[in-house]
Copies of this chain bind each other. A is one copy, B any other.
Amino acid sequence: MQPDPSLARLGSHEGTTVTIRKLEHSDWPEVWKLIEPVFRAGETYAVSREITEAEARRMWVEAPTGTYLAQGENAVVLGTYFVKPNQAGGGAHVCNCGYIVSETARGKGVASLMCAHSQREATRLGFRAMQFNFVVSTNEGAIRLWQKLGFEIVGRLPGAFEHPHRGFVDACVMYKAL
């Protein structure tokens, strides 16, 4: 299949070329392998730690407007993200995204590349802003990164997340006009 040139944007981290493209059906097993441990850990996503594969697939692939895959050399999977409307009706011009980087690829700029890509994709899809509803406050690296990429903390939900090791912690609402 010819890659859609509008999707096959390239970034690079530490000399490795990263390709970001739309997910294909056959990619799911790799994506599930990547996201399952994050959901099972329960430290960063407000998702049941007992989520089934079918539920995760619905949430990550079927419900969103688009789901994407970041790959390094030899097509090794580095990360994945989705984009979808955050609300319906009068709120449908604001999108929501979720990003997960594979454990072995963390701290290498993959999240940053995916977020930049998602902002271009969101604009292309007609969204005017991007909102993260629930960034767990203990996920400090993520908050710093989103801030660096232009997102502002526009709300703070006191004790809204029960962290498996740290108890009730705040969650942040982050927002960026595109």
Is residue A163 within 8 Å, beta carbon to beta carbon, of the partner chain? yes
The quantity of this chain's copies bound in the complex is 2
| A92, chain B: closest CB distance, angstroms | 8
Tell whether A134 pairs with B89 under 8 Å between CB atoms, given A159-B177, A160-B129, A175-B158.
no
Does A88 contact B46, Cβ atoms closer than 8 Å?
A: yes
**Shortest Cβ distance from A173 into B: residue:** B155
Q: Which of A43, A136, A156, A162 has the most CB of B within 10 A?
A: A162
Residues of B within 8 A of A48 (CB): 88-89, 92
In the assembled complex, 7 residue pairs joining A and B whose CB atoms fall closer than 8 Å, in A order, are A46-B87, A46-B88, A87-B134, A91-B134, A93-B168, A154-B156, A155-B157
